[in-house]
Amino acid sequence: MRGTILKDPNSELAFTIDWQTEGLLKHEQVVDDLGWTIQPVDDDADCLRIIEQTIKASCSRAVLSGGVEGQVYLLTCTVGTDAARVLKRAVILRIAAGSLNGDLNETD
């Protein structure tokens, strides 16, 4: 995936990674949810927060809230597989008031 995902600081955004299309080998399965992380980490009450994270079959899902307008965050998800591999996927989120949640702003 290329680009930056835009998120309004006043609304929630659900983001999902389907590991079947994002790196699993044929017949490989996700067996460990190693979690989601946000960088930078900030103690500000308005910072981007993960309010829910789940994994179901081969899909990892996080629900995000907040975020400081103008701030750019790196959201990373990590899982372990039955082939003893650790897979990570990351996405860049930019907080912009009035943006449509999940809009992809293509950048090079």
Which pLDDT band, with edges at 50, 70 and 90, does 44 fall under?
confident
Domains contained in the chain, CATH given: 4-105 (2.60.40)
Assess whether pLDDT exceeds 60 at residue 74: yes
**Cβ–Cβ < 8 Å for 48, 93:** yes
Assess whether pLDDT exceeds 50 at residue 103: no
- Tell me the whole-structure pTM to 2 decimals: 0.84
Q: What is each CA distance from 37 to 27, 68, 76, in whole angstroms? A: 27, 17, 5
Tell me the pLDDT tens digit for each residue of 55-67. Answer: 998 999 999 999 9
Average pLDDT taken over every residue of the chain: 89
What's phi and psi for 22, nearest 5 deg? Answer: -120, 35
Q: Which residue has the higher pLDDT, 108 or 46?
A: 46
